[in-house]
A and B are shown apart, each in its own frame.
Chain A
Amino acid sequence: MRFIRRDLPYTILVVFGTLALLSYYVAIPAIEAVAGTSRTWVVVIGAFAVFLGALNVIRTHAVRAYQKKENWWLSVWLVFIYFSMVIAGLLAGTGSAQYKWMYAAMYTPLAQGVVGTLGLFLVSAAYRAFKIRTSESLVFFLGFFLIAVRQASIGPLLWPGFEIIGNWVTLWPSTGTMRAVTIGLAIGTVALALRTLARYEKIGLEEGGIVGGG
């Protein structure tokens, strides 16, 4: 059991992770071929994972509807829409006018509506976050002020200096910090990947602590 739950997944991870890493640096056709095939398998596994996720959705909402929990009728509606899309896709094809209409008429406006709330949340987040209490929060506020005015199309018309200062803040302090963070992140990612391949990082695949080999 321990072999299936822990050792086998780790072996697969180490073997294919190492092959994928080597395929980028080493020009051996056999390694590239195996790594390329494994990349295709990732897509297939991803598709199966989608199936697993879909089963989770159906199970959760079917149980909610059956047990008549709060707003259970919404779960019924979700399952109905879910199967409608699946059946439309299977019978008419995902390129059909019917399927495209369902997607464009139902999902698209809802999705964009949800993302539209981003603007509202940004306003309330800005209102809460940019309260000046310390010198650091004053700097935080000044940065926000200059960039927000620069980004508004009317900003440079109110005073041309907003464009100049905003551009300077974007190009120098912001870019410099971004570069430093990007380099640090890149090395952190490489370090994490190498620790995972060397089995020093457990990534939730087994019980117990987070870091520790075998």
Chain B
Amino acid sequence: MNLTASKNIWDKLGDLDRRILFWAVVLIIAVSLIHPLRLPITVSERVKEAYNFVEKAVKPNDIVLIDLGTGLGPMPETMPGLLAITRHLMRLQARIVFTTGYVSPEAVVVIEEVMDKTLRKDPKFVYGEHYVNFGWYTGGGTAIRRLASNWKDVFTRDWYGTPNEKLPIMKDITGADSFRLVWHVGPETAWVTYWKLGKRVPVLVTYMALNIPTWLPYYAAGDIYLLGGQRENAEYEILVGVPGPGVPAMDYQSLGHLFVLGVVVLGNLGNIRRKLRREQQ
């Protein structure tokens, strides 16, 4: 047997050109977008935990803070969760305050998109009275600490320049004690330090699956409720019961995962076979 002849399929599998991988991923996503497979989705315990907590804890007129600690990039993964959370809170008739403490103000675009798709479509929710966008703040953990003790230390007007005195919702906001809970989208653990541990305000977190390990110690300690990644955001969407972009994305998320796993396993099989052949030689 001529072992130095042209590569067979196993050799090729162990050494695939990355362009083949890229095109395969693009095709999988394109096919599942054009012909949705509607693969079944189960809801995990962690998501049920977060949903049930919000369902029980939030009463009509309670004020909830939604803070974005991330920019535009991770939005495809976290937007389904944001929309589902906002719709859930709207159904519970909560009042919603939006802020973003990301390193740049680009997340304000995301807040605008969320408001356009949810609150601004419902005439029952009036800006300034039922929801408000304070926009971008700087200072990270320091600002979050100051928000907890005195909201007006950080925000004296909303993102559009309206002074606090002209916003009816501000009559009920002084600091952390005014909020029923905080939904944080991002990696900022200062919310746990200053709001949960300092002021006993429950904190719920959703972020990219990539960064979930950052939050796991806090979840394991019972300090937060957690939605980790696109899958759990889509499961929250199912529980809220309003169709959004999360569930359809699960098709190509599942297929993409299976493809990566398959390619890695086949690549390893190719390598193992190549190694065995070399040893035989």
Contact = CB atoms under 8 A, between A and B. Distances in A.
Interface of A: 39, 43, 46, 95, 100, 103-104, 107-108, 111-112, 114-116, 118-120, 122-124, 126-127, 130-133, 141, 144-145, 148-149, 151-157, 163, 170-171, 174-175, 178-179, 182
A97 to B, nearest CB: 12
Given A131-B267, A151-B209, A151-B257, A171 B220 contact: yes
B18 A114 contact: no
A152 B264 contact: no
Contacts of A115: 72-74, 76
B242 interface: no
Given A131-B268, A132-B268, A151-B257, A112 B263 contact: no
- Main secondary structure, interface of B, reads helix
B271 interface: yes
A43 B139 contact: yes
Most buried by B among A43, A152, A174, A178: A152
A127 B21 contact: yes
Interface in B113-169: 138-139, 142, 159-161
A103 B76 CA distance: 17
Nearest to A183: B217
Given A112-B75, A156-B42, A178-B213, 20 more contacts: A39-B139, A112-B76, A115-B72, A115-B73, A118-B73, A120-B22, A130-B264, A131-B267, A145-B264, A148-B257, A148-B260, A153-B231, A154-B257, A154-B258, A157-B39, A163-B42, A170-B216, A171-B216, A171-B220, A178-B217
A84 to B, nearest CB: 18
- Main secondary structure, interface of A, reads helix
Contacts of B257: 148-149, 151-152, 154-155
A149 B74 contact: no
A129 to B, nearest CB: 9
B222 interface: no
Given A163-B44, A179-B217, A153 B250 contact: yes
B27 to A, nearest CB: 12
A51 B235 CA distance: 44
A103 B109 contact: yes
B263 A127 contact: yes
Most buried by A among B44, B219, B229, B264: B264
B234 interface: yes
Contact of A104 (B109, B219, B271): B109
A-B CB proximity, top 7 nearest:
A115-B73, A152-B257, A154-B254, A124-B18, A175-B216, A153-B250, A153-B41
B61 interface: no
Given A123-B263, A141-B264, A154 B74 contact: no
Contacts of B170: none
A131 to B, nearest CB: 6
A8 to B, nearest CB: 25
18 contacts: A39-B142, A95-B160, A111-B71, A111-B73, A112-B76, A115-B76, A120-B22, A145-B261, A149-B261, A151-B257, A152-B231, A152-B257, A153-B42, A154-B39, A154-B250, A156-B42, A157-B42, A175-B216
